[in-house]
Amino acid sequence: MTRAARPVTYYDTTGLRLRRHGMAISRAGSEWHLDLGDGRGCRVEAPGAEQVPHELSRLVRAYSRDLDLVPMPRRAVAGPGADEEPGTARQVVLGYLERQVEALARADLAVRLEDPEGVHDLRVAARRIRATLRTFGPVLGGRLAGRFVPALRWLGASVGPARDLEVQRARFFAALEKLPPETVSDEVRTNAEQVFAAQAEEAAAECAVVLDSPRYLQLLNALDVLLVVLREQSAGAQGKRARRPAAKVLPGLVWRVVAETDSRVSAVADGAGAVHAMRKSVKRLRYAVEAAAAALPVDRAEVLKSLRGLQELLGEYQDAVVAQSRLRELVESGEATRAHVLVLEAEIRCAGECAEQLPAAWRKTYRQLAPLRG
């Protein structure tokens, strides 16, 4: 005899938060299943459980916001904004902002699933949201949007060390491979592994604390409220620029970031602080171009390609500077080996070469963005 199929019960918040993002939690007998909607998922055996097991509920916290997950009928739900035709400055920027808030939740889930790129994606999403609120404040409501910047900066800074350690570990061991074999002992490799492993464990624990903290949940809820307010605000309350066609407003706002970046390029020779300031401006500029792409009178693909190249150059410089700082601590403590000194020298050269290339790389990008000036 064929065994009858077990009935399946679906769980969600009463507002269908999971379903609206393409996810589903279901139970069949004692087996619980989280379907992420992209081919990934996980299963948990929980005999006798009537509530969603903690192993699953914690994974979707960025979506459920700690609301109760209760049995719900299974039916299709349209995604947010499916029928909208963006055209005003507010609509174009708000569409991008909504996608980044969604990306933040996806990255949160990736971190909880221990995806290697999860922390990086989380930090990038937070940066994109913060940059969008700053750059396009005039069409989003400057004061309201500006209140989120400190919390987003806190989030990025809190989870950042976990990603930075991954980068520095890979960088250090790649540098060792380029050295003469006789200068790199097994002890050097073993000690480095132990140091990076200990620091990574500490950073991962801090990251977990942040994602489970009330402050983080408050930030997510506040972003939800912000999106609702901006989406439902009456035309009369939006302000003149928010209601105008995107192509008439957004190029000028993006140009402000171009001008800010250009003003920082001349100071690159002053050292790491000046280069870091330029790096922040270039990131903000890239995100601004991404957000307003459809409304800009430039070759968007070429501009974004140039900005990515410039960002990679600035990132390489920054990584070299951070590596130098770690290595100098070893040298000053007297614990450095010949291998450490050679890697330090290589990082100093790397930073210098990157700094020399920055002005020319920026001039190319600036020429591509010149039509924004009008």
pLDDT of residue 85: 41
pLDDT at 280 over 70: yes
Instruction: Give the residue, 142 or 199, on which the prediction is more confident.
Output: 199
pLDDT at 268 over 70: yes
pLDDT of residue 72: 82
Mean pLDDT (whole number) for 9-32:
87
Mind listing the pLDDT tens digit for each residue in 59-98?
Answer: 999 888 888 898 887 654 444 443 334 489 999 999 999 9
In the chain, the percentage of residues whose pLDDT exceeds 90 is: 64
pLDDT of residue 84: 38
pLDDT of residue 125: 96
Asked if residue 151 lies in contact with residue 215, where contact means CB atoms within 8 angstroms, the answer is yes
Residue 332 CA: distances (Å) to CA of 93, 192, 322, 336, 350: 49, 17, 16, 8, 21
Q: State the chain's mean pLDDT as an integer.
A: 89
70's enclosing H/E stretch is strand 70-72
| Most confident option among 25-29, 234-238, 245-249 | 245-249
pLDDT of residue 145: 66
Mean pLDDT (whole number) for 176-190:
91
251's enclosing H/E stretch is helix 246-265
Mind listing the pLDDT tens digit for each residue in 106-150?
Answer: 999 999 998 889 999 999 999 999 999 999 999 998 676 678 889
Q: Which of 29, 15, 30, 108 is nearest to 67 (CA)?
A: 15
Listed in sequence order, the residues at least 6 apart from 228 whose beta carbon sits closer than 8 Å to its beta carbon are: none
Listed in sequence order, the residues at least 6 apart from 181 whose beta carbon sits closer than 8 Å to its beta carbon are: none
**Residue 299: band (very low, low, confident or very high) from pLDDT cuts 50, 70, 90:** very high
Instruction: Give the residue, 260 or 145, on which the prediction is more confident.
Output: 260
pLDDT of residue 5: 59
Long-range contacts formed by 351-354: CB under 8 A, 24+ apart: 351/272, 351/317, 351/320, 351/321, 351/324, 354/313, 354/314, 354/316, 354/317, 354/320
In the sheet that holds 24-28, the strands lie side by side as 41-45, 31-35, 24-28, 8-12, 70-72
pLDDT of residue 50: 86
- DSSP string spanning 284-337? HHHHHHHHHGGG-SS-HHHHHHHHHHHHHHHHHHHHHHHHHHHHHHHHHHT---
pLDDT of residue 75: 59
Mind listing the pLDDT tens digit for each residue in 302-332?
Answer: 999 999 999 999 999 999 999 999 899 888 8
Mean pLDDT (whole number) for 283-288:
97
Q: Which of 318, 293, 313 is nearest to 369 (CA)?
A: 293
Taking the CA atoms of the chain, what radius of gyration do you get in angstroms? 24
* Lowest pLDDT segment from 25-34, 84-93, 236-245, 357-366: 84-93
Q: Are strands 31-35 and 24-28 parallel, antiparallel or unpaired?
A: antiparallel
Structure tokens at 310: 């410039």
pLDDT of residue 19: 86
**Residue 264: band (very low, low, confident or very high) from pLDDT cuts 50, 70, 90:** very high
